[in-house]
Amino acid sequence: MTEKSYLDSIGDNIKRIKQEVSEAAIKAGRKPEEIRLMAVTKTVEPVFINKAIEYGIDLIGENRVQEYISKREELCLENVETHLIGHLQTNKVRQIVGLVDMIQSVDSIHLAKEISRCSLKRGITTKILLEVNIGGEESKFGFTPGGLLNSIIEVAQLKGIEINGLMTVPPISNSTDRMRSFFSNMRQLFIDIAGKKLDNVNMNVLSMGMSGDYVEAVTEGSTMIRVGSAIFGNRNYR
């Protein structure tokens, strides 16, 4: 594939995904504009990210602090939101706070406290999502569904951060019904916590659904899907 044809394919992919999201939303009785499409840009070169932005992407997600910092200056980020979506080590917090609009992958109270500390030091408020390990997988980070409410109450008391919702990466499954059950359980957690009307907790974002399951996620109530390979193609993650 030539570079030109690859650039064109990015636009075609974005158009297709938006159409599929719209159809899934309408079928579920939702408004398509309720769902935001994030382009996940891990390993993607700035020239291709900027082309996605030209095609209407206004939200990008990066997994790695150093990678984002290394290419940030080359990105056309005017009117574009940037989120950190990968696992964040506490020793990298000071490098990323203030450089992104939101940190989605807050998976422990310890990490939240460090984000709070660094945010206060910079005199800013950092928007965060709490990551939920909805499948209870030992290999993944995140709060347990059962302990989520108590954790949110504790995190919400920290200064310099603002809880904006939840995110999850469910277990890989070949069963559509099983996948939808994970998303449905996340949606119920989202609704239950919103109903508590806790101070410093705004349940505005339910971030779930990726390249292989975004239609199911939208069907079950996702407000933000994180799509990488379906936009940019398969990538080399080495």
Structural domains of the chain ordered from first start: 3-232 (3.20.20.10)
pLDDT over 80 (residue 236): no
- Over range 191-207, report the average pLDDT: 97
* Helix extents (H) in the chain: 3-27, 46-54, 65-71, 93-96, 109-122, 148-156, 176-196, 214-219, 229-232
Give the model's pLDDT for residue 173.
Answer: 86
Instruction: Provide the residue type at 216 as one letter.
Output: E
Q: What are phi and psi of 99, to 5 degrees?
A: -100, -15
11: Cα separation from own chain's centroid: 21
User: Which of the two residues, 175 and 190, has the higher pLDDT score?
Assistant: 190
pTM of the model: 0.95
Buried b (16+ CB within 10 A) or exposed e, 72-99: eeebebeebbbbbbbebeeebbbebbee
- Over range 213-224, report the average pLDDT: 97
